[in-house]
Amino acid sequence: MAGPKRTAPEVEIAQGRLSGRWKAKGTVAVFKGIPFAEPPVGDRRWKAPGPAPTWSGTRQATKHGPMAIQRAAGFEEFMGNLLNGQGWHPTRVRGLEALVKRMPTPEQSEDCLYLSVRTPSLEPSAKLPVMVWIHGGDHQDGSGSDAFYESNALASHGVVTVSINYRLGLFGYFAHPDLRAESVHGVSGNYGTLDQIAALEWVRDNIAAFGGDPDNVTIFGESAGGESVLHLMTSPLARGLFHRAIAQSPGSGGQMVPLDRPFLAHPGAEARSRAFAEAAGATGEDPVAQLRSMSADRLHEIVLADDETGDHYPTIDGHVLPESPYAAFAAGRQAPVPLVIGSNADEGTLLISMMQSPMVEYRYLPVPDDGLQPEVREALGDDIDRLIEIYPGLDRGDVGAATDFLGDRLFGAAVYHYARHHAIGGNPTHVYFFTRVPKQAGQTLGAYHAAEIPFVHGSNVPILPMSSKDKALSREIMRYWTDHARRADVNAGAPGVNHPEWPAFDPADPQWIRFDHTVTVEPVQRREQYEIFGALIDRRIADLTAD
């Protein structure tokens, strides 16, 4: 006979009372859709997040809040590449593609500033480590409630996990001169980054009610989320709000541009926003007021219709983000917190078809028949001949060479730059390299961009089921991640056959831990190309900081 039904978990926070649900056989309390800031709608569009709303009575926290309005322009192509590259039988691929198309579209809204909490304890005295997840998606797409993050596995390892939404694209990073004029700080843009900071402030003020320790917070994220981790490490507004960091496949695609001047193939952020305002017909005396009077749906239609002015990214504004994170790390101005950082072996395979150029900052420029743009040759200078030797066929438009180049340059070299400078500053730094590849014959993606996410979250999503070896690898990765969060020591747990001691990164003798079905420690295998690309990063820093 079944026992009495367990009472729903409840907590009292500064905003009011919340009621959630028990998951993982009653061992993890889950609270979804908690507003952490005032809805950024109406006159609050393109303003810093305001105070979180309060309520009377008990608020049901059992459903995710809406995700941010987003482009999703490349979603079908991304998913098609993902499914077709697994080496499965064509019948299975067609069935999964049909399933993806039939999946209900999650609600999107400007009113998107919500987060979710998963905790194994509701005792404030538990003082559990807290891990705050920042989703990826090129700062244009994604949400904290994506299927790959919908797992209680990390919480079952004794940590409180928080997943957040933040404003994206036009709504998160629009930077117009008139917005600068109305700002007390004289800046515009970076509203999505301010949302991330507001979420961390909410965690500081409320997480104890969920059993979490506000003095032991780890921020972690992948792709644009990993880049956001580095932004927060270099933003003075985020100092003291977190104590450890994990950046998975971070990579700036040349999108970090100044407010008021062009950089590489990109116009200045405010020039791009002015162009968008003109495309939207906001050409009067107060274009921002005109844009705020338009519906979010109408603005979104204009975004989707215009690739040239529709994308908006984090900006070097001198306040939220005083400088490129590349430059901040090189100068030792980042937060001196313990850092885990890494990339995957085949980052470019899912992305190359959406880029054209092997260097993402030139993706909007014409590509010649040989596939190597003059801008690429000029940027790489005397190193181009050696890179053509490393990536044979790069100068003949070979897709495989361009794919490897893209992944190494955009992600691997960025990781190497950040790790090297963080370690030089005396900060605990550990680097990983994810190489696990499914064993299906015909798999063509390798260890692709985002392939590590299910392993980090312990999420066994039906379209990408895990084998027993995959589940074992996932458990080891989660041990490293949660040990880092718990004690700032990835080696705090007992070692095992598949859980070797992970050495700190030493720029003089760089080693990483390689995550495959067997976990091993080895020298960095792509050091030469990373150092060539690192010299390019140094030149970019000089260009960004030049008067």
Nearest to 302 by CA among 284, 279, 283: 279
pLDDT for res 76: 66
* Range 282-318 burial, b when 16+ CB lie within 10 A, else e: beeeebbeebbebebeebbebbeeeeebbbbbbbbbe
DSSP 54-111: --SSEEE--SPPPBPP---TTHHHHHHHHHHTT---HHHHHHHHHHHHHSPPPPB-S-
pLDDT for res 216: 98
State the burial class of residue 251 (Cβ atoms within 10 Å of its Cβ: 0-12, 13-18, 19+). Answer: buried
Taking the alpha carbons at both ends of the chain, their separation in whole angstroms is 76
Selecting among 222, 347, 361, 452, the annotated active-site residue is 347
Selecting among 422, 449, 484, 499, the annotated active-site residue is 449
pLDDT for res 354: 83
pLDDT for res 97: 75
CB of 452 closer than 8 Å to CB of 434: yes
Residue 484 known to be catalytic: no
CB of 482 closer than 8 Å to CB of 488: no
Tell me the pLDDT of the chain (547 aa) as tens digits: 344 567 999 999 999 999 999 999 999 999 999 999 999 999 999 999 999 999 999 999 999 999 999 987 556 677 777 888 887 778 877 877 776 666 667 789 999 999 999 999 999 999 999 999 999 999 999 999 998 999 999 999 999 999 999 999 999 999 999 999 999 999 999 999 999 999 999 999 999 999 999 999 999 999 999 999 999 999 999 999 999 999 999 987 666 789 988 888 888 899 999 999 999 999 989 999 999 999 999 999 999 887 667 789 999 999 999 999 999 999 999 999 999 999 999 999 999 988 888 998 888 888 888 779 999 999 999 999 999 999 999 999 899 999 999 999 999 999 999 999 999 999 999 999 999 998 777 888 999 999 999 999 999 887 788 899 999 999 999 999 999 999 999 998 878 778 999 999 999 999 999 999 999 999 999 999 999 999 999 999 998 877 5
pLDDT for res 497: 75
Nearest to 329 by CA among 246, 249, 245, 425: 425
The C-alpha atoms of residue 452 and residue 3 are separated, in whole angstroms, by 39
The C-alpha atoms of residue 273 and residue 313 are separated, in whole angstroms, by 11
State the DSSP code for 346. Answer: B
Residue 308 known to be catalytic: no
Distance from CA of residue 265 to its chain's centroid? 23
- Helix %, strand %, coil % for the chain, to 5? 40, 15, 45
pLDDT for res 357: 87
The C-alpha atoms of residue 190 and residue 184 are separated, in whole angstroms, by 15
The C-alpha atoms of residue 513 and residue 61 are separated, in whole angstroms, by 39
pLDDT for res 102: 65
Joined together, the tokens standing for residue 142 give: 């994604």
The model carries a pTM of 0.95
pLDDT for res 4: 53
The C-alpha atoms of residue 47 and residue 476 are separated, in whole angstroms, by 42
pLDDT for res 162: 98
Joined together, the tokens standing for residue 469 give: 């070896």
